[in-house]
Structure 1
Amino acid sequence: MNLYGFAYTVNFLALAASFWLRPASSRATRAHPPPGRPLKEKLSQPQAPLACKTYLVNLPLCTLHVMEAGTGSPLIMVPATISELENWTSMVQFMSQWFRVYFFELPGHGRSTPFAQKFSTELVAETVAQFADHIGAERFNLMGFSFGGILAMKTFQLLHDRIERVVFIAPCLTRRAVQMSPIQRNVSRLFSRLLGTPAFRAFLIQARKNGLSRSLLVNMIRSIGKVEKAIPLDEKISKMGPTTMDVIACELHDILTSEFSRPPVKYQTPCYFAMSIYDPLLDFQTTLDELRCHFENINTVELKFPFHQPPRSFTFDELNRDFGPTVNHFMPAESRNPLF
């Protein structure tokens, strides 16, 4: 790999870092009050987060590493690219105030085993179906974040008759919403193809093993991609193995090409959509317009964050303060939490 190829690699990683990386809540280093959003009144009673449990589930397609919390109607949260369970503990606990929540690491990443076949979003949708069968959920709720929006929509199209409610948080749903220049798109397509070659993967693995090379790579990504220092890039890159690269290559291709077929009649499934109107990676209006082509009943929450992903995970209390009332309103009357 020459310097020209290396430069392309670094440039893409900087552009895609916000799609891939979600910071662990244990690494929070500073507060980030939502810009432009007034602080809501504190809850009338303090909420205590429910305990989470983790375990492995053997399914026909793979073994999933799962986190679970709460009681009630099941909610399956579909992860973003290289999310690990600990990255989403606060969100799982937050949503467990209304649901029995299940979150899993994508096949081939973390402790979830890879598919026997090449990774694809269609296989992820089938895996969700197998997991729903495993937990005995004839009907369930679905939630997706960022690239997980593509996974959630694929799953919804496969299983819409079984889904009671669907939640999209800053979702990637159409290539038209991705805010990249033509040059950036071409670089990203090149990287996706290169990532499928053994030689390029070997180069990345060697680069992440070398402390000096990894430090240089991290600093360049932070500089070019304007990635917050609180996000543990060094740790993420050092742990990125071949099966995670399979996941990233597939997801990058889908981010740049995805367009979902429109239903002849819009789905009546209640849909909750939250996204920043200032999202630097995905265009808010294009994303909302795409959702409106699929769903009749959309509960929209316009945020004003200047980022696609926060510099650290929201805490349980922050989620309650800023999102609790709108999520509670989205729920059917018999399922609402009286503390909101």
Structure 2
Amino acid sequence: MMRKTQRLSSSQMRVSYLEAGQGAPLVLIHGVGMNAEAWYPQIEALSARFHVIAVDMPGHGESDAFSRPVSLPDYVAWLAEFLDQRPESRFAVAGHSMGALIAAGLAIDYPERVSHAIVMSSVYRRSDAARQAVLRRAQELAAGSADLDSPLVRWFGDDEHETALRERVGGWLQQVNLQGYADAYQAF
């Protein structure tokens, strides 16, 4: 598995990604606050049969953040531009959480580029209360006042078997570009 970077031709944004394996191309897109490393177990398993490309979303991992206010279609267009610069013509895309929204958007807006779409833990019919909670979190992040560890309480229990994973995920959250995280949360 190798970490690589690619510059987008129109925006000059740097896209960082992990790449491994050979075969049909499979793009993995993580959720808000994470990075491509969140896919390590899947990359290891899937690279035996696929050419796996796990991207860091804008403002996450080692990818550049957007330099302007953005919405979900901007993330979809970002991924489409990244894929347009690749030698392959069609991709299976799999996304988790916000990555699932990007994968679904790519399949809808750029069907000629998508051979398969896997949508995991995506938003569906979010309640008004849940929507308000997400918007509040986005505002807190934008103001720089959000507790970056608070998602860990929702995502993990107190089980000692989850401790190492919780610490790893917590480390990713502490390293995230705050503006990129806030932008993604707002789009989410």
Q: 1:54 is aligned with what amino acid?
A: R
Give the match for residue 81 of structure 1: 32
1:53 and 2:24 aligned: no
Give the match for residue 167 of structure 1: 118
Instruction: Indicate which of 119, 132, 143 corresponds to 2:83.
Output: 132
Q: What pairs with 1:205-224 in structure 2 (closer than 5 Å)? A: 222=153
Could you say what secondary structure the match of 1:165 adopts? strand
* 1:260-301 Cα shifts (integer Å, max 9, x gaps): xxxxxxxxxxxxxxxxxxxxxxxxxxxxxxxxxxxxxxxxxx
- CA contact under 8 A between 1:82 and 1:106: conserved in structure 2? no
Tell me the CA shift for residue 145 of structure 1: 1.4
1:244 and 2:173 aligned: no
Give the match for residue 228 of structure 1: 157
Tell me the CA shift for residue 113 of structure 1: 0.4
Give the match for residue 22 of structure 2: 71
- CA contact under 8 A between 2:65 and 2:179: conserved in structure 1? no
Q: 2:34 is aligned with what amino acid?
A: S
Give the match for residue 92 of structure 1: 43
Could you say what secondary structure the match of 2:65 adopts? coil
| Shift in CA distance, 234/154, structure 1 to aligned 2, threshold 3 Å | closer
**Aligned partners of 1:133 and 1:188: how far apart in 2?**
32
Residues matched between the structures, number:
178
Tell me the CA shift for residue 57 of structure 1: 0.8
Identity level (%): 19
Gaps of 5+ in 2: none
Could you say what secondary structure the match of 1:76 adopts? strand
CA RMSD of aligned residues (A): 2.6
1:189 and 2:135 aligned: yes
Q: 1:89 is aligned with what amino acid?
A: Y
Give the match for residue 65 of structure 2: 114
**Aligned partners of 2:33 and 2:152: how far apart in 1?**
17
Could you say what secondary structure the match of 2:66 adopts? coil
Tell me the CA shift for residue 193 of structure 1: 4.0
**Aligned partners of 1:104 and 1:137: how far apart in 2?**
16
Q: Whose Rg is larger?
A: 1
Q: 1:246 is aligned with what amino acid?
A: D
Q: 2:96 is aligned with what amino acid?
A: F
**Aligned partners of 2:92 and 2:134: how far apart in 1?**
33
| Shift in CA distance, 70/128, structure 1 to aligned 2, threshold 3 Å | same
**Aligned partners of 1:79 and 1:221: how far apart in 2?**
16
Could you say what secondary structure the match of 2:112 adopts? helix
